[in-house]
């Protein structure tokens, strides 16, 4: 697969003179601050409303109010809403630190490539299905989720929209703001691609998982993030990455969940990765499945003969 880098070269050269490493660091701090403030606001407000509602209905549950709220369907929706803080922080940083429009992060055209978005979404839904088949072969413990089909259909559109909010904000930060700004100043891909990849992967560390499972998850996340970076490099636009990331998260939110903390809306629940009993061999196989799935995604979207091949925006 030969990738024309012209589109990415236009994208990386699009920032103005205000995009210096120091301003980029300052802007990133602003984004994190807005993200944390939004998370705190929606968490406290949501927990308070949840406790009041539970008290009015006479419901009780073990554990603290925050833990109970985050484990509820309302808590999951609220957690997704908190990612709006990233978009707000990015707008603030672009407007007041770099004096650029927020849309400049999307691509050189300042518009989302919707054909690329759709192709990315379809490709990852296909590879996620293959991944789930392989995971089922590894650990065939899948149970029907607690959510009813009618309730699932009712929440389908809100979950898709909130998942899009989450995934697009992460892409705009890690494959947009950071990657674009670093690539503008540094020619070494280990810097402009490697640093955002490491930061993105590190955020997925789970204190409740074993070291082996954390390692395999981080390897899988890093391989997927590398493909997302490659897609931005090939198209000079975040559209494909938006769609691919959305397809990945929708599979876990709505179809088959591998996390107890995010399984309220999933039709099926697999054995949670944060649970006990996973061996070192299991971790290696899970990482291998993640890598194969990511490689197949890259082939579907970049191979010249693929019907899903994406092109520069």
Same domain, 117 and 240: yes
Q: Is 5 a member of any domain?
A: no
- Give the tens place of pLDDT for each residue, 190-214: 999 999 999 999 998 887 778 888 8
Res. 174: pLDDT tops 80: yes
Query: Is pLDDT at 67 greater than 80 in this prediction?
Result: no
- The helix (H) or strand (E) run that includes residue 70 is helix 65-71
> Is the CB of residue 268 less than 8 Å from the CB of residue 143?
yes
What domain range includes position 148? 112-313
With bands split at pLDDT 50, 70 and 90, how would you rate the model's confidence at 129?
very high
* 8 A C-beta contact, residue 238 and residue 171: yes
Confidence of residue 65 (pLDDT cuts 50, 70, 90): low
Q: Are residues 185 and 77 in the same domain?
A: no
- Does residue 6 belong to any structural domain of this protein? no
- Does 70 have pLDDT greater than 70? no
Number of domains in the chain: 2
Q: Are 297 and 124 in contact (CB under 8 A)?
A: yes
Q: What totals of helices (H) and strands (E) does the chain contain, helices first?
A: 13, 3
Measured CA to CA in angstroms, residue 76 lies from 34, 79, 196, 221 at distances of: 19, 5, 26, 21
* Domain shared by 122 and 94, yes or no: no
What is the number of other CB atoms lying within 10 angstroms of the CB of residue 279? 11
- Which has the closest alpha carbon to 178: 163, 200, 162? 200
Exposure on the CB side of residue 17, measured as CA atoms within 13 A: 0
Token digits for 122?
């379809």
User: What's the DSSP call for residue 80?
Assistant: H
Tell me, yes or no, whether 50 lies in a domain: yes
User: Long-range contact list for 133-139, CB < 8 A, 24+ apart?
Assistant: 134/289, 134/292, 135/258, 135/270, 135/286, 135/289, 136/270, 138/282, 138/285, 138/286, 138/289, 139/270, 139/271, 139/282
Of 79, 91, 87, 72, nearest to 40 (Cα)? 79
Is 106 part of any domain? Answer: no
Rounded to a whole number of angstroms, the distance between the first and last alpha carbons of the chain is 18
| Residue whose tokens read 């992060």 | 105
Q: Is the pTM of this model over 0.95?
A: no
Q: Of 36, 69, 99, which marks where a domain is finished?
A: 99
pLDDT per position as a tens digit, 271-294: 888 877 788 898 999 999 999 999
């Amino acid at each position: 697969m030969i990738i024309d880098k012209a589109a990415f070269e236009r994208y990386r050269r699009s920032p103005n003179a205000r995009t210096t490493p120091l301003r980029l660091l300052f802007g990133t701090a602003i984004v994190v601050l807005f993200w944390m403030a939004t998370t705190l606001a929606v968490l406290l407000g949501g927990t308070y409303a949840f406790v009041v509602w539970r008290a009015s209905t006479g419901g009780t549950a073990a554990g603290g109010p925050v833990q109970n709220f985050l484990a509820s369907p309302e808590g999951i929706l609220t957690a997704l809403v908190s990612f709006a803080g990233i978009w707000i922080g990015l707008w603030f940083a672009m407007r007041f630190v770099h004096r650029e429009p927020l849309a400049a992060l999307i691509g050189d055209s300042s518009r989302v490539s919707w054909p690329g978005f759709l192709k990315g979404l379809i490709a990852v839904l296909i590879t996620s299905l293959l991944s789930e088949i392989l995971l089922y072969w590894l650990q065939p413990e899948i149970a029907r989720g607690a959510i009813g089909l009618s309730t699932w259909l009712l929440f389908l559109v809100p979950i898709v929209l909130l998942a899009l909010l989450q995934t697009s904000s992460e892409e705009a930060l890690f494959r947009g703001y950071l990657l674009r700004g670093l690539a503008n100043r540094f020619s070494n891909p280990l810097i402009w691609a490697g640093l955002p990849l490491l930061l993105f992967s590190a955020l997925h560390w789970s204190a409740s998982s074993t070291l082996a499972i954390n390692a395999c998850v981080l390897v899988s996340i890093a391989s997927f993030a590398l493909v997302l970076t490659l897609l931005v490099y090939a198209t000079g636009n975040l559209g494909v990455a938006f769609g691919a990331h959305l397809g990945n998260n929708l599979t876990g939110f709505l179809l088959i969940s591998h996390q107890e903390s995010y399984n309220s809306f999933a039709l099926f629940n697999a054995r949670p990765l944060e649970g006990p009993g996973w061996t070192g061999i299991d971790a290696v196989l899970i990482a291998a499945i993640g890598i194969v799935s990511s490689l197949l995604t890259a082939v579907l979207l970049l191979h010249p003969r693929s019907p899903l091949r994406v092109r520069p925006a």
